[in-house]
Structure 1
């Protein structure tokens, strides 16, 4: 197994060799063939014309994106101001799910880190960016997911791309099985892996198994999927996917980006939530029995949503993490996250781990809102998670609905259009937080009812007359129960194992590299 330095030298050596060979071939070509000089004969390529034509395509197919100037206020959450500080709106679509970006402990940890260590990391991990805050954060993440080790990246997009592409590069016979609704970062990673791939229908495990059957058990395979799919709120059956992986000899790659902080007694995600009671009783200690979180080979997550900062990571076995650390260019050649971000993220993980009430408040506010929308006959794509996707079904109307909410009701909910969602399923995506209390929900409900009346948007009964769509107005659709049970929603912080409160976390050795004795 190569060390980080040797991996870098090997990577650069291969690049130099290829480059030198190319230039040498060019030199031979120059010595044997005349070179035509077209410099004064051809007109310059019309670069701006290409850019403009491509932009116009976006405008014509209604996928051109408009960004709102939203400045979330740390001391007036969930308020934000627009271009003028006096123009305030209530934010209902942030992925800062637990509002930890404004948490006093998190902010203080970041401020102290800046005062002591400065603003930037100083370089890549190999050069100047490795420090005790990095080691501490990776140790916290490994403990959160009860894995041997974890590795931090600049974002989870980079983490997903790095791990998936590296697996393909090192296992050329690998076959990847990907859920059709997987995030763009996973799609890009699979593309960069450049191996055989199969895309199975969303959460269709029968089709997945039929695809797995096509290959001998000895051939390397990987199943890539998410726990919570962010635009529809649907949830994967992690346990059954692990069953298939074990049956057919596949690795499992689970993206928990939209689940960490929100599920499980300690916020480790849906994999932890599957064995909720056992993890609650054991606290930070690993379970002695086989559990879903152990069965997943690789878990990726983000620091930029529930943990309120920025960055991504992968948690797995020590051997796998050391391998990624040693070979992935996306990790080796990327500047490390600033020390303040590392400090803030680690503080956020520790804080939310011992505060189950944050998760419970978020879930209760989501339930209150979904119940209110149902009473108004507003079409919400059914799901068992915290996502509230209101179906509009038209890109122009979705944009108009968002604009009316903003300009008339001072409520910010971004319209979600293609390519994030399929055409004809455009929606408003709402994400309540612990701070979106019932009184704020009542204001939002009244505003949404108003825009459905003003724009004459189809309600549940209208979709039902058309035969239903995405589970809305479909008489044959069977809704899944919410992931959080009623008994779980009655828990308090006092019901957690005392070992989750300010625990002493052992340092993960692989963060710095494993010495061979």
Structure 2
């Protein structure tokens, strides 16, 4: 507007001769329009039926044809008196732009194909495809322990649904808070031996919300992130707008170099995972916690791919680091500070090993109350339904007291890894339950997945960029306690057939290549299984009896702390 007014003053003697206040008053009194009609320039412009303008350019370079500039000023001040001005701009072609972007994903082989897989509760780990008689064996599910089919969990959910309905009624602070939320958060806090916990709609939302909140509330804070962190953490860090440093994967020297750049008084947070799901590597949790204390940082540990499967009670890798002590004390805490105690914030999922859906964060009462009070992702999201939360409470109690499932899963993992090693099938070395088979290019990776599905009735999803770096494409296999030896042997034979038919690189080929992703390279210490031979001898009878049916004091923070 200011630019148009200046232009009008230069070209129009009438505008130049009157002050802005006078013109404004005439506009309010409708006198400006009357004067304009007698103007040899504005008169014809106002009488014209059509107005032609040049194509749009940057505001500082805009030029109107004829007398359009002055008329435009008038149109803005008196929109009801003049017809809308038309330009020769064309609307943005959204469809063409979207099609171009989709084509780009197809060209770089990052386009995703979703298979129609319908997992069968009574035939786990089987599923059917589009037709119910077309059944396949699922080998890549994150329902790691098969808890989605557990009868006790199912019955709990049905009973709760019959009494309380299928929905939560809205956001928790308005309509969704209830006994099931309190009980579930109490169970989660007890599992990780923390003071409190909060349940979210998913762990993606949890990670995003907590990390975003850190940056918003500590604008001078710094976040240090492992380079292989999950997308949920990357998004949360981006949304936080905090300054960030990405350290090399599990590289403690690099992390310390970055931490040492700042005074101890600067707010800091180190974000990392326990088990990295695409490669199966495990983080040095205790070393990271020690560095955090040395440099004054909070620790944020994502245990999504570890809860349920590690530690004597399934609390994750942090619990596993003090396995014997936690095994002995059961639900009680050992008489010394454990690795799990050192972690400030632990996040996890309720949709993988616990078999249902949701996410959570556990930590001190103060931190949980802070997140509950300030995080939009917690406050303004519809909470989980009562039946879901009740079922999850039951699932956690079952998982806590069932070390047999954890042991059987690890035994199946060991067997499959050993047989692949005998055949030269390239497994990216790691100490966890993840079995990533290195293929190395997206085309062959998709072909391998399709052959397994269509020929061998085995479902293993191809993992391509951007889930993993280009050139490291892989098949990701995740055995459960329910994949027995016969099922494992079928998988091993099928994978061997696929590698032969597609002439994919085996371990000796990668060795000749110089090694890739740890395959064909010297043995890594990280490939030693996290579960020891002695731990695999344990049964449910070895657990402390206090884990069977513990009573926990309900958490005040779930409802808000009264002062």
- The alignment's TM-score, normalised by the length of structure 1, stands at 0.93
Helix, strand or coil at the partner of 2:362: strand
Helix, strand or coil at the partner of 1:210: helix
Question: Per-residue displacement from partner, 1:248-300 (whole Å, max 9, x unpaired)?
Answer: 11100000000000000000000000000111111111222111001000000
Question: Per-residue displacement from partner, 1:97-139 (whole Å, max 9, x unpaired)?
Answer: 0000000111111111111110000011111100000100000
Helix, strand or coil at the partner of 1:381: coil
Q: Which residue in the other structure is 2:30 paired with? A: none
Q: Which residue in the other structure is 1:6 paired with? A: none
2:493 to 431, 446, 452: 446
Say yes or no: does 1:217 pair with 2:264: yes
Distance 1:218 1:376 in 2: 54
1:231 to 263, 266, 278: 278
Return closer, same or farther for 1:246/1:81 CA change in 2, 3 Å cut-off.
Answer: same
Say yes or no: does 1:357 pair with 2:404: yes
Q: Which residue in the other structure is 1:118 paired with? A: 165
1:368 to 385, 394, 415: 415
Q: Which residue in the other structure is 1:162 paired with? A: 209
Distance 2:323 2:522 in 1: 32
RMSD of equivalent CA atoms: 1.5
Contact in 1 for aligned 2:429/2:524 (Cα 8 Å): no
Distance 2:140 2:527 in 1: 23
Distance 1:210 1:448 in 2: 43
Say yes or no: does 1:459 pair with 2:492: no
Helix, strand or coil at the partner of 2:269: strand
Match runs of 1:386-405 below 5 Å: 386-405=433-452
Say yes or no: does 1:305 pair with 2:352: yes
Return closer, same or farther for 1:37/1:182 CA change in 2, 3 Å cut-off.
Answer: farther
Return closer, same or farther for 1:100/1:276 CA change in 2, 3 Å cut-off.
Answer: same
Distance 1:60 1:276 in 2: 48
Q: Which residue in the other structure is 2:537 paired with? A: 490
Distance 2:429 2:519 in 1: 7
Distance 2:387 2:562 in 1: 28
Q: Which residue in the other structure is 1:256 paired with? A: 303
Say yes or no: does 1:425 pair with 2:472: yes
Return closer, same or farther for 1:478/1:491 CA change in 2, 3 Å cut-off.
Answer: closer
Question: Per-residue displacement from partner, 1:335-357 (whole Å, max 9, x unpaired)?
Answer: 01011110111111000100000
Helix, strand or coil at the partner of 1:166: helix
Say yes or no: does 1:186 pair with 2:233: yes
Question: Per-residue displacement from partner, 1:459-516 (whole Å, max 9, x unpaired)?
Answer: 0000000100111101364444211011000001010000000111210110001111
Helix, strand or coil at the partner of 2:490: helix
Distance 1:39 1:327 in 2: 47
Q: Which residue in the other structure is 1:293 paired with? A: 340
Helix, strand or coil at the partner of 1:222: strand
Distance 1:51 1:502 in 2: 55
Q: Which residue in the other structure is 1:21 paired with? A: none
Q: Which residue in the other structure is 1:469 paired with? A: 516
1:101 to 148, 155, 172: 148
2:384 to 315, 327, 337: 337
Say yes or no: does 1:61 pair with 2:108: yes
Distance 2:93 2:535 in 1: 61
Say yes or no: does 1:145 pair with 2:164: no
CA drift at 1:41 = 3.2
Distance 1:477 1:486 in 2: 19
Return closer, same or farther for 1:447/1:480 CA change in 2, 3 Å cut-off.
Answer: closer
Alignment gaps of 5+ in structure 2? 1-72
CA drift at 1:42 = 2.4
Q: Which residue in the other structure is 1:245 paired with? A: 292
Distance 1:130 1:121 in 2: 8
Say yes or no: does 1:129 pair with 2:176: yes
More displaced stretch, 328-337 vs 468-477: 468-477
Distance 2:95 2:549 in 1: 56
CA drift at 1:38 = 5.7
More displaced stretch, 466-475 vs 408-417: 466-475
Contact in 1 for aligned 2:281/2:526 (Cα 8 Å): no
Distance 1:426 1:242 in 2: 32
Match runs of 1:253-292 below 5 Å: 253-292=300-339
Say yes or no: does 1:382 pair with 2:429: yes
Q: Which residue in the other structure is 2:95 paired with? A: 48
Return closer, same or farther for 1:79/1:231 CA change in 2, 3 Å cut-off.
Answer: same
Distance 1:245 1:432 in 2: 34
Determine which structure has more spread, i.e. the larger CA radius of gyration: 2
